[in-house]
Structure 1
Amino acid sequence: MTSREKALEARLRRKLSELEEQIADAEVKALLPPATCTQVELYVQCQQDRIKALEHEVTCYTAELDYLLERTKPSDQLELLTLNQANGTHGKTPEPATV
C-alpha cells in the first residue's frame, strides 16, 4: 500500500469515527423525551455561561493585581506576591506592604 493510500485510509477512518459519533449522539437524543433534550441543552449552556463568568472574574483579578504591582516599589512587589499566594487571596486586594 502506498503512502497516499495509507493517508487516504487514515482520513476515511477518522471520518467514519466522526460519523459514528454523530449517529450515537442522534440516537441518544432520539431516546430522550424532547423536554429532557431541552433541559440538557439548557444545562450545558448554563455551564458554558458560568465558565465565561469565571474567566472574566480571573481576568479582572489579574488586571487588579497587575495594577497594584505597577503602583508598588520593586522591593514591595515580591512581598505582595508572596502575601497574595500565602493567604490564598489570588486576585483579592492584598493589604499594602509596610516598609
Structure 2
Amino acid sequence: MPVGLPFRLQDYLELVDWSGRILREGKRGAIDQHLPPILDRLQIDPRHWLYLNKNFESRFKSLVGAGHSVRTACEQLGKRWCHGIRDCERYLSPPAAS
C-alpha cells in the first residue's frame, strides 16, 4: 500500500466536499450547494493545508485554530505561552483586512 492517498490533496478535498453536498442533500448536516469550497470558507490557503497535513504533529502540541481563538483560549486557561501559536497565525488565521 503506498503512503498517503493515490491522488492530490486538492482532488481529495473536492471529493469530500462534493460528497457532502450530494450524498447528504436534504439531511441534517448537509453542505449547502451555494456554499463555496471548504478551504475558501475557512480562508485557508490550499498550500498551507497541504503543509499542515504533512507536518501537523510536529508543529502543534496543544491548542490549534485561528491565532486569535488560540490566544483567547490560552488566556482563559491561564496559559502564558502556547506551542505552535505562530503557525496558527501563519497557516490558520484569516488574512488581515487591507
Question: Does the pair score TM above 0.5?
Answer: no
- TM-score normalized with structure 1 length: 0.25
Larger CA Rg, structure 1 vs 2? 1
Q: Which has the higher contact order (CA 8 A, sep 6+)?
A: 2
